[in-house]
Each structure stands twice: as structure tokens, then as C-alpha cells.
A and B are shown apart, each in its own frame.
Chain A
Amino acid sequence: NAGVTQTPKFQVLKTGQSMTLQCAQDMNHEYMSWYRQDPGMGLRLIHYSVGAGITDQGEVPNGYNVSRSTTEDFPLRLLSAAPSQTSVYFCASNGISGGKNNEQFFGPGTRLTVL
């Protein structure tokens, strides 16, 4: 299993540009989520999904869209990038059915800089 994969690893955008951060998992996990981590800070939840076709907002959803058309993929779209969105973005997944309530697997992160 590849686990949770994220692309790209690094990205530089200009203010106003849009882009999509990709996240995929091959563990058949129902739950997927996106976090951002600013320098020296903890992780903040952006959006999450408990299954295909179901998404919900986290703590800091403004400026981001998500969709979940398949179990495997959970892309995060930045609508109009702003310098305040400069951060490291982590995608994560874990199983929630059948009594599974344990390990959340994280991707390696995407380091985004908005100029």
C-alpha cells in the first residue's frame, strides 16, 4: 500500500491564482480530511469527509473547496490564493466503520507559498 499520497510536494503561487492540491489513499478509508499548519503552530482542520459525496467544514474552511467523488480521492481547491494561505497542507485518512476508531494516516504534506 502507498498509504496517503499528496501532490505536489512544493508549490509557489501568485496572489489570485487558483490550484488544486491532490490527495489519494489506497486503504479504502471512509474518512479523509485536510489540515493546514502554519509555522510554529498546530494543525487546523479545513474540510473533512466521512464518505464519497459527503463533505463538511472544519475550523478554517474559507477560501477552500473540496469534493469527494470517490473513496480514494479528496482534492482541495484554492479558489483565489492569498498570502495568508501560505502554509503546509496535510491530508489524512482513517477507517470509521466496523468499529475502527484508531489510527489516522497522514500524507507527507504540500508546502505552499503564495506571493
Chain B
Amino acid sequence: DAKTTQPNSMESNEEEPVHLPCNHSTISGTDYIHWYRQLPSQGPEYVIHGLTSNVNNRMASLAIAEDRKSSTLILHRATLRDAAVYYCILRAGNSGTYKYIFGTGTRLKVLA
């Protein structure tokens, strides 16, 4: 299974953009890049996913490198409610192997 590498922790000031990096140098051509976040004492929640092109949704943007060996989750304006652990996950896209393998994630601290 392909692995991801993320920094253990990051800090951001409130109202400022946050760029959360993820390295996945062993990604295969059919692996989707997913991001989840986990708020304190809750289960993870979906943030965004992509395959090759950059993606935007109401929560965040996902920038994927041209060689797909890295990606960046962008929170455009961090709020205190965005303080969470963010997980970058590779999810196999071919039939029968849909398992998600979570890493240790990046703990984001948002400063008021």
C-alpha cells in the first residue's frame, strides 16, 4: 500500500490561509488522494478528494502536483473551528481494494 508523509503539526493565525502538505511519492496511477479531518473527540469527516486535477469545494481546495507525488490542502481562511488533525490518505481506485490507510496526520493549531 502506498504511504503518505505529513508534518506532525502546524500553526496558523485565524483568518489567514493554511497550506497543509502531503508527500506520496509511491502513489500509483489509480490512487485517489483523499483528505479527512478529525475534530477533538469526534470521528473523522471528509474534506476533499482528487485524482489529477486541482479541486475546490466549500471547505477547502486541493492542489495536486503534476507528477502526483505530493499534494496540498488549502484552507483559505482558517477559523478556530478548523483546529483538528488533518489526514492525507491514498485510496486505491481499482475494484476490490478500496481500503483507506490513515497515517498519523497533521495537527493544526489555529491561533486567535
Q: Which residues of chain B from 15 to 48 have any CB-CB distance to chain A below 8 Å in the complex?
A: 32, 34, 36, 42-46
Please indicate the chain B residues that have their CB under 8 angstroms from the CB of A44 in the complex: 102
B109 within 8 A of A: no
Taking a contact as CB atoms under 8 Å apart, the answer to whether A107 and B102 are in contact is no
Q: Is the interface of B mostly helix, strand, loop or mixed?
A: loop
Please indicate the chain B residues that have their CB under 8 angstroms from the CB of A33 in the complex: 99-100
Q: In the complex, A107→B49 CA distance in Å?
A: 20
Given A90-B44, A106-B45, A48–B99 Cβ distance below 8 Å? Answer: yes
User: Of B49, B85, B98, which is within 8 A of A96 by CB?
Assistant: B98
Taking a contact as CB atoms under 8 Å apart, the answer to whether B43 and A42 are in contact is no
Taking a contact as CB atoms under 8 Å apart, the answer to whether A109 and B43 are in contact is yes
16 A-B pairs (CB sep. < 8 Å): A41-B104, A42-B102, A42-B105, A43-B87, A43-B102, A50-B98, A59-B101, A96-B98, A101-B32, A104-B34, A104-B44, A104-B100, A105-B46, A106-B45, A108-B43, A109-B42
Residues of A within 8 A of B (CB): 31, 33, 35, 41-45, 48, 50, 56, 58-59, 90, 92, 96, 101-109
Question: Nearest 7 CB-CB pairs, A to B?
Answer: A106-B43, A103-B46, A43-B102, A42-B104, A42-B102, A90-B43, A48-B99
